[in-house]
Structure 1
Amino acid sequence: MRGHYVHQTWPADPAVYAPPRYRRACGYDAFIPETVAGADVTLPGDVAGVVSDAEKAIFDLNRKAGPELLPLARLLLRTESIASSKVEGLQVDARQLARAEASQETGRRVGSQAAEILANIDAMQLSIERAAELAGIRPGDLLDIHRVLLERAPNSQIAGRFRSSQNWIGGNDYNPCGAAFIPPPPGEVDRLLDDLCAFVDDVALPPLVQAAIAHAQFETIHPFEDGNGRTGRALVQVVLRRRGLTPAFVPPISVVLARDKDRYLNGLTLFREDRLADWIELFAAATAEAAMLAVHYTARVSRLQDVWRQRLRDHANPRADAAAWGLIAVLPAHPIVTVSVAVAATRRTKPAVANAIEQLEAAGILTRLTESARNRAWEAEGLLDLIVGLEAGVAWQT
């Protein structure tokens, strides 16, 4: 076991509004993990091979990345963020979420669950962008990710704050007695996070091994009242970016983890039981699958863009510097687009963008979603169908 249990007593609370059995004092065992900084990790040859294959898959995903593919990079980041939210039970239809994203980008209000998922995209982007710039990761950087993640959530009052009380997973809502897993007492959190950050700053282990251990250790510490899973999966991408494995494209690992949530949660239990090789093998295999999914889906999106370009040539064939070509290039990052979003994404003038949208609509590339002259939005033909498949982690069609 990678740690030890400490017995604690939950005090009686006759005033709590709960069935009598939950008002009484009870005992529970909280788990305090071993520190991970400087850990010596030796993997069996077959597991090391799975790790190597997964890292190669990520390398292949990033190998052809260039400025023209940055919208696809945002598509993958968006997919990873949404899938990470799905692990926690936040479910919004892909089309609804795309419409909510377009609404939010133009300053309009969106539903609370959509807003929370969109905040996860922002938190993931913040964490990855900052990762490349920081000399080292500190607990305050984790607070920054968490703050963005929950700032639009119903429980936003806890955003950017480490917990000061005992939390637990499973069991009942009133006390940790009988819970499936009880993280360390709050007095241990600061020490364990300092150790985790020191581990993340080290470069002794292969990047994917480091990411797997960092994630499992973070989930074991469970330093927040809520949002631990999403923050911990953002930490995975932080490690991979800092180690240079994902300079442009992130593998949407959460897509694979969300598809078999029980297996993922069992893997975290394997880590705590000191079955480290089993956890790393599971994590690496999920990462390899995610990277291969991303390779195939980004290729399909690129082919769809080629179809759009041909349609535009057949319909209007505008000049090479026309805004319509630039808008096709950025559509993967914005499956539902408005004029203001297109202006920001293409850096072209509003009249040029309005003309481009008119050309793309006439060519059957954009479909108008609203007839109102105000806050008009268009959907990119065929793109959301591909995004739905990627977010679901389904096998691609050749």
Structure 2
Amino acid sequence: MAIQGLTKLPVKIEITQAIKLLERLAHVNTLLGKLDVELTHSKASKQLMQLLSLQESVESTKIEGSQVTFTDMMESSLKKSDDSDIIEIQNYMRALQFGYESVENGYPVTTRLIKQLHEILMKGSRGEISSAGEFRKIQNFIGPTNRLEDASYIPIEAHLINEYMENLEKFINTDSYGRLLPQNHLKSDGYVINEQAAPLLKTGIMHAQFESIHPFLDGNGRLGRILIVLYLLQQKVITHPIFFVSEELEKEKARYYDLLNGVCGDRSDWGKWLLFFVDASERMATKLLDQLNKANRLLTEGEQLIENEAERKLWITSFEQPILTVAKGVEMTGYSPNTVRKALHQLVDKELLYASNTERRNRKYRNYALLRIFVN
């Protein structure tokens, strides 16, 4: 039988669950701080941010069923593609960038921003007809088929969306006068997680509540995962858009969806979901920190072999675009084709990049050492 019903925020969890969560939060926050420091001191911070954004975009759309890989996206960036999965990933990156710039300019995560992000996500994609940037006007459901009787979860009715989104927005953006949301719906004993809770816990609640409201006909999952990084940026837990959890969520996709459904209905269990979310965040932060450390070591080791500025520029460029052509190198550096071609050949001679002998036209120069770091 499908789960129905959704409680407004704030939420309550068991005391034992709260103790476990609070014990883990300090460690995760330390890891997030190290991530920010690592990127701040990187010579290729802009390039690595682009790479991490692409990795997140691929992993998040993979949860929705996309088969496009990180390497596929690298290849597709060298030519125009009309593949719908590739368009969705490109839209995801555009929405991430728009959201990051909005938060950086002082705009909070609000319903207005959420609708703008949804419009960017849907542009030119398969779901574009699904009222891009507008809340759904009809009932929808989540399940393995297109039949209501097979649904695992039936979200709130369309006429309630604005009311629930207003509640979510107030939870996200704590009242400037310190007024808290009503808690009279929280009947049992336990630990209340309200607007004053730790940012990572609020992030987990925000994501699950948004997914449960399911305000759009399509794109809710992708948008909900974008909101994770935007809210952490808004709360200054991180200062760069580098912390993405989608890869860890995709690894345990069945559990992810089951626990999201578990916060809905009459017997919602927010504690289990939050423990899962914090654990996934810890694993992802650890992995990202390892990737950044390895990438920065690779960059430094390569620079020690480089003899001129053109080589150095192309080497750093390969950290944003690990698969290069001469044309792409010209576009990204502004150097002449002859200068780019010569520098790329020198990087191949130094075994920093690889070029296949079988490719004659539009030869590709691959930073395989970097791809090994970021491709599972």
Counterpart Cα distance in 1 of 2:292 and 2:198: 26
Counterpart Cα distance in 1 of 2:335 and 2:129: 39
Q: Show CA shifts across 1:120-178 (max 9, x none).
A: 2222222223222243332221122122222132232223232111110115424x234
Displacement, 1:63?
2.0
Provide the residue aligned with 2:24 in structure 1.
50
Counterpart Cα distance in 2 of 1:343 and 1:242: 36
The alignment's TM-score, normalised by the length of structure 1, stands at 0.79
Provide the residue aligned with 1:360 in structure 2.
347
Corresponding residue SS for 1:165 = coil
Amino acid at match of 1:113: D
Amino acid at match of 1:296: D
The reply to whether residue 254 of structure 1 matches residue 246 of structure 2 is: yes
C-alpha spacing 1:29/1:91, structure 2 compared with 1 (3 Å)? closer
Counterpart Cα distance in 1 of 2:95 and 2:224: 11
The reply to whether residue 132 of structure 1 matches residue 119 of structure 2 is: no
Amino acid at match of 2:252: D
Asked if the contact 1:326/1:346 (under 8 Å) is kept, the reply is yes
Corresponding residue SS for 2:354 = strand
**Residue 200 of structure 1: which of 162, 168, 172 is its match?**
172
**Residue 61 of structure 2: which of 67, 85, 91 is its match?**
85
Provide the residue aligned with 1:142 in structure 2.
114
C-alpha spacing 1:140/1:338, structure 2 compared with 1 (3 Å)? farther
Provide the residue aligned with 1:327 in structure 2.
314
Report % sequence identity.
Answer: 25
Task: Report which structure shows greater RCO (CA 8 Å, sep ≥6).
Answer: 2
Displacement, 1:304?
2.3
List alignment gaps of at least 5 residues for structure 1. Answer: 1-27, 390-398
Amino acid at match of 1:77: S
Counterpart Cα distance in 2 of 1:154 and 1:110: 11
C-alpha spacing 1:346/1:164, structure 2 compared with 1 (3 Å)? same
Q: Show CA shifts across 1:183-234 (max 9, x none).
A: 0111111221122122222262211011100000000001111111110000
Corresponding residue SS for 1:301 = helix
Displacement, 1:91?
1.4
Asked if the contact 2:74/2:322 (under 8 Å) is kept, the reply is yes
Asked if the contact 1:70/1:248 (under 8 Å) is kept, the reply is no
Amino acid at match of 1:290: M
Displacement, 1:32?
3.9
The reply to whether residue 289 of structure 1 matches residue 283 of structure 2 is: yes
Q: Show CA shifts across 1:96-127 (max 9, x none).
A: 22101232xxxx23422222222222222222
Amino acid at match of 2:54: R
The reply to whether residue 381 of structure 1 matches residue 368 of structure 2 is: yes
